[in-house]
Amino acid sequence: MPSFFIRTYGCQMNERDSEALACLLLARGYTQAEDEDTADVILFNTCSVRDQAERKAVGKMGLLRRLKRQRPDVVLGIIGCMAQNRGQGLLDELPHVDLVVGTDCLPQIPDLIEECLRGTQGLVATETSDLLPVGLSGHREGQKSAFVSVMRGCNQFCSYCIVPYTRGREKSRPIADVVAEVERLAASGTREVCLLGQNITAYGLAEARQDGSYSPEISPFADLLRAVHAVPGIDRIRFTSPHVRFMNDAFVEAVTSLPKVCKSFHIPMQSGSDRILKLMHRGYTAPEYLDRVSRIRERLEDVAFSTDVIVGFPTETAEDFAATRELMDAVGFDMAYIFRYSVRTGTHAAEKLADDVPEEVKMERNQLLLADLDRRVEASNRRYVGRAVTVLAEGPSKRNPRRWSGRSDTNKVVLFTPSADLEPGDLVTVKVERTTSHSLFGEIVPTAE
Ligand code: SF4
pLDDT by residue (tens digit) across 167-215? 788 999 999 999 999 999 999 889 999 998 889 999 999 999 999 999 9
CA 231 to chain centre: 23
Question: How big is the chain by its Cα radius of gyration, in Å?
Answer: 22
C-alpha of residue 300 to centroid of ligand 1, in Å:
27
C-alpha of residue 243 to centroid of ligand 1, in Å:
8
**pLDDT tens for each residue of 313-353:** 999 999 999 999 999 999 999 999 999 999 988 899 999 99
> Which among 134, 311, 325, 167 has a CA at the least distance from the CA of 241?
167
Identity of residue 198:
Q
Q: Which helix (H) or strand (E) holds 391?
A: strand 388-396
- For each of the domains in the chain, give its residue range(s) and CATH number, in order of start: 3-125 (3.40.50.12160), 136-382 (3.80.30.20), 385-445 (2.40.50.140)
Residues 54 and 61: their CA atoms lie apart, in Å, by 11
C-alpha of residue 188 to centroid of ligand 1, in Å:
33
Ligand 1 pocket list (CB less than 6 A): 154, 156-158, 161, 163-164, 198-199, 243
Residues 126 and 124: their CA atoms lie apart, in Å, by 6
| Mutation probe of ligand 1 site: the residue of 13, 156, 337 with most atoms within 8 A of C-beta | 156
Question: Which residue has a Cα nearest atom 2 of ligand 1?
Answer: 158
Q: What is the pLDDT of residue 103?
A: 81
Residues 416 and 430: their CA atoms lie apart, in Å, by 7
C-alpha of residue 397 to centroid of ligand 1, in Å:
34
| Mutation probe of ligand 1 site: the residue of 14, 85, 160, 161 with most atoms within 8 A of C-beta | 161
C-alpha of residue 446 to centroid of ligand 1, in Å:
43
Q: What is the pLDDT of residue 245?
A: 95
Question: Which residue has a Cα nearest atom 8 of ligand 1?
Answer: 161
Q: What is the pLDDT of residue 136?
A: 42
**pLDDT tens for each residue of 133-163:** 555 455 666 678 888 889 988 999 999 998 8
> Which among 118, 114, 201 has a CA at the least distance from the CA of 156?
201
Instruction: Give the number of other CB atoms < 10 A from CB of residue 39.
Output: 22
C-alpha of residue 105 to centroid of ligand 1, in Å:
21
427-435 and 264-266 beta bridge pairing: unpaired
DSSP secondary structure string, 55-70? HHHHHHHHHTHHHHHH
For the CA of 270, the closest atom of ligand 1 is 3
388-396 and 335-340 beta bridge pairing: unpaired
Helices 109-117 and 12-27 cross at an angle (nearest 10°) of: 60
Q: What is the pLDDT of residue 142?
A: 67
Q: How far apart, in Å, do the first and last CA atoms of the chain sit?
A: 50
DSSP secondary structure string, 69-80? HH-TT-EEEEEE
Give me the residues of the chain with pLDDT under 70, please. 128-142, 448-449
DSSP secondary structure string, 296-315? HHTT-SS-EEEEEEEES-TT
What are the phi and psi torsion angles at 129 (to 5°)?
Answer: -140, 165
For the CA of 154, the closest atom of ligand 1 is 6
Helix ranges (H only) for 87-191 are: 88-93, 109-117, 163-166, 175-187
Residues 411 and 308: their CA atoms lie apart, in Å, by 16
Give this prediction's pTM. Answer: 0.84
For the CA of 241, the closest atom of ligand 1 is 4
Cβ within 8 Å of residue 406, ≥6 positions away? 391, 392, 393, 394, 413, 414, 416, 428, 430
Q: For residue 57, with 0-12 CB atoms within 10 Å meaning exposed, 13-18 middle and 19 or more buried, which class applies?
A: buried
